[in-house]
Chains A and B, each alone.
Chain A
Amino acid sequence: MKANGLLSASQSVLMAVVSRVMGIVDVPLRYLQRKAGQNGMAAFFLAPNMAIFAVFVLVPFVINFVYSLTGGSAIFLSERSFVGAEQYREIFACGNYLDPNTCKQDVFWIAAGNTAAFVVLQVSLMIVAALITALILNREIIGRGFWRAVFFFPVLLSPVVTGLIWRWIFQRQGVLNAVMQGLGLEPHDWLTERNSAFFASIGVSIWAHVGFYTLILLAGLQAIPKDLYEAAQMDGTSRSRVFWRITLPLLMPNLIVVLVLALIRAVQIFDEAFVLTHGGPGTSTMYLVQYIYETGFASELRNPGLAAAASILMGAVLVVLTLVQMAASRRSEKKGAR
């Protein structure tokens, strides 16, 4: 009772402050509305967001595009020479796009190929893993809260920490080889063998992010009405049929969200993979963002123009993926409305 009284008192103070503030801003806002009209007011309220978008997204994008039309290694635009589409021509100068060795910028195409393979494998395995995990965590299992926390915990880790932990596990003298030797098995060079390094980068990425997507699917599973399952049970429907006919269709909107988010994130893969493998062995785990970073910042003679052109091309891929997401969401919404 006392607590309620205190709460009311603090609420009253709060309300008094709010009403005082509203009283102060009311006059100029009314004046503005009279002058600008209803549409003008909408623009006025949207302006802060648009300004943030312009400063942090639009302007950098335009600057990046301008960089992609310039050459040399200088950082400041004023010191760079205009070369037109030369950087794009450099990237697309290929004898055969399926054979990077015939391309002038061979490493770009190797990185693009690696990224494509990574996206296909990582996203499909991630969705399956997230779905299975969500289905298990949705059941009445012992310590359900604990297991949910366990699966979500890696999401909270910094990608650098994730990469380092797994590097210590996979390296030649790492934990995994020690365990294998303990079991009488031959140790394996996980990070110096092409395929195992590639799959290690996929596995680590799934481990790091699966918790986030599991959470989205779990929310979807919990939103499915229970009476549908009860009706199916009364009809004697098999478990697999329930999954394919009830769970999966009703989970589809969440699965589409997961698919698109995972796709976009997979295309942008960099931090944990870079710490884990440094792009090696050779260039077998060099992905597009690492290529952009190395070309623009880390190589002995930097080429910011080429890096900018590569990032514009990668941005174009992301735009396509976003459009796919929007189309898929709309389709899903329409289906739901019907």
Chain B
Amino acid sequence: MKSISILAAAGIALLSSTAAFAGDVRIMWYSDGVEGQVFKDLIAKFQKDNPDIKVTVDEVAYSTIKEQLPVQLAAGNGPDIARVTNLKSLSQYWLDLTPYLKDAEFWKKNYGDQLDWMRPDGSNIIPGFMTQITLTGGFINKTLFDQAGVAVPGEKATWDEWVAASAKVAKSQQVPYAFAIDRSGHRITGPAISYGANYIGKDGMPAPLDDAAKKYLTQLIKWNADGVSDKDVWVSASGTTYKPAADDFINAQVVMYYAGSWQIPNFMTKIGTNFDWVAIGSPCGPAACTGMPGGAGLVAMKDTKNPKDVAKVMDFLASTPIAKEFAERTLFLPSNKEVVAGGLDFKTDNKFAKEALNTFVKATTTTAPEALKLPGWKWSDTYYGALVSRVGQAMAGEMTADEAFKRIDSDIAEKVKAAK
């Protein structure tokens, strides 16, 4: 009898892990900073008012979202809702929430500007909403600049000027590296566009790497070879592995760090008052001073067994008061237009965080049109993946920059061919 009970319990556990019961909503969530806790608080509020719907939040690493979620979705075993950054390339898996929403017009009005980022080309579905809008940009350790007596470059300073100034600081303060940039194709694309790069061909398909992109990437490889940029980030990994340099910046191991607005709450929590950290926006290249827009979206899955319950959860999370609370507590830039229009009272006394938020809001005005197109472009992730793996190999000395450029073009062409 006992063994039968054990078997029954095991069976139920197995079923619950693979299939949703009516009233169950499973959310896959990753966090950059404190937003996981905020999100769970908001879900608790939802649960209080909707006891008939059981919401489970599975907190996972970002790499799980990047590497495992696509496979789960392809196999039809995904969660009901997920927080995702590669919104466009996986858009065939998203559910059209339109028939289930309380007021689809509210969604179109408030989240409409980014819906194309998460829709298949030519579609008008409402699959979800952006939990935050992000913009890539740099941060510096101002304390190190002050201690070194090096002037902080001005607003229109170029990449070369920023890296040169950071190198002076690093040398003076015996910091291992002057500069770090995340191991990510998205991250290096802002600077590449500042140099004049354009990835999209006239036919809307991926264009071969242009001279401007090659010029920036050559410079990036050289900074790495010269020991100016943080080798640990790009060289100590292979393939398309994503690797942030945030911990090196937090531990004052680099002077300047190029990441994005999503790091503000992380730095506020982890750096605290250990040193003065300042957001600098995006350094300039010959063509622009642009960062890359992006963000994370919460999307519903086509394979869900409970679309009505999923829509109820999504309606709640996208509602203006909840989106406002989420933005104010996480210090994320909101995408809900009503929230933006109503103004925000970010819940922080940290002056560095407040100044950084203002810097990023200001930097949105200099975002290049080429950068604005990429979040809604189907081939962005293919391009980013080829850039990361081959530039990483060139930095490790396995191939020359020219060989890497040829491989990037052939890798992208091959993937386009394979997708047909």
Identify A71's interface contact among B71, B398, B418, CB under 8 A: B418
Contact with B along A259-303 (1 / 0, CB 8 A): 000000000000000000111111111100010001001111111
User: Shortest distance in angstroms between B416's beta carbon and chain A's nearest beta carbon?
Assistant: 9
Given the interface contacts A72-B418, A197-B236, does A282 sit within 8 Å of B67 by beta carbon?
A: no
Chain A CB within 10 A, most for which of B75, B236, B243, B385: B236
Number of A-B residue pairs, CB cutoff 8 Å, is 112
Contact with A along B383-420 (1 / 0, CB 8 A): 01110010011011111000100010000000100110
Q: Give Cα A290 to B67, complex, Å.
A: 13
Q: Does A188 make an interface contact (CB < 8 A)?
A: no
Contact with A along B216-240 (1 / 0, CB 8 A): 0000000000000001100111111
Q: Give Cα A281 to B407, complex, Å.
A: 18
Contacts of A294 in B (CB 8 A): 239-240
Q: Give Cα A107 to B396, complex, Å.
A: 14
Given the interface contacts A106-B407, A197-B236, A279-B241, does A298 sit within 8 Å of B67 by beta carbon?
A: yes
B240 touching A298, Cβ below 8 Å = yes
A192 touching B241, Cβ below 8 Å = no
| Interface size of B in residues (CB-CB distance below 8 Å) | 40
Contact with B along A62-85 (1 / 0, CB 8 A): 000000000111111000000000
Contacts of A191 in B (CB 8 A): 232, 236
Contacts of B382 in A (CB 8 A): 300-301
Q: Does A148 make an interface contact (CB < 8 A)?
A: no
Contact with A along B87-98 (1 / 0, CB 8 A): 001000000000
Q: Does A333 make an interface contact (CB < 8 A)?
A: no
Q: Does B381 make an interface contact (CB < 8 A)?
A: yes
Residue of B nearest to A279 (CB): B238
Contacts of A110 in B (CB 8 A): 398
Q: Give Cα A106 to B231, complex, Å.
A: 23
Contact with B along A91-111 (1 / 0, CB 8 A): 000000000010000110010
Given the interface contacts A73-B418, A294-B240, A302-B71, does A281 sit within 8 Å of B253 by beta carbon?
A: no
Contacts of B153 in A (CB 8 A): none
A282 touching B75, Cβ below 8 Å = no
User: Shortest distance in angstroms between B176's beta carbon and chain A's nearest beta carbon?
Assistant: 7
A280 touching B240, Cβ below 8 Å = no
Q: Does B251 make an interface contact (CB < 8 A)?
A: yes
Contact with A along B54-71 (1 / 0, CB 8 A): 000000000000111011
| A-B pairs, 4 with minimum CB distance | A282-B396, A279-B238, A300-B385, A278-B237
Binding site for A on B (CB under 8 A): 66-68, 70-71, 74-75, 86, 89, 176, 231-232, 235-241, 243, 251, 253, 381-382, 384-386, 389, 392-393, 395-399, 403, 407, 415, 418-419
What 15 new A-B contacts, CB under 8 Å, besides A73-B74, A278-B241, A280-B237?
A73-B418, A106-B407, A110-B398, A171-B232, A189-B231, A192-B231, A192-B235, A280-B236, A282-B235, A282-B396, A285-B238, A286-B238, A290-B238, A300-B382, A303-B418
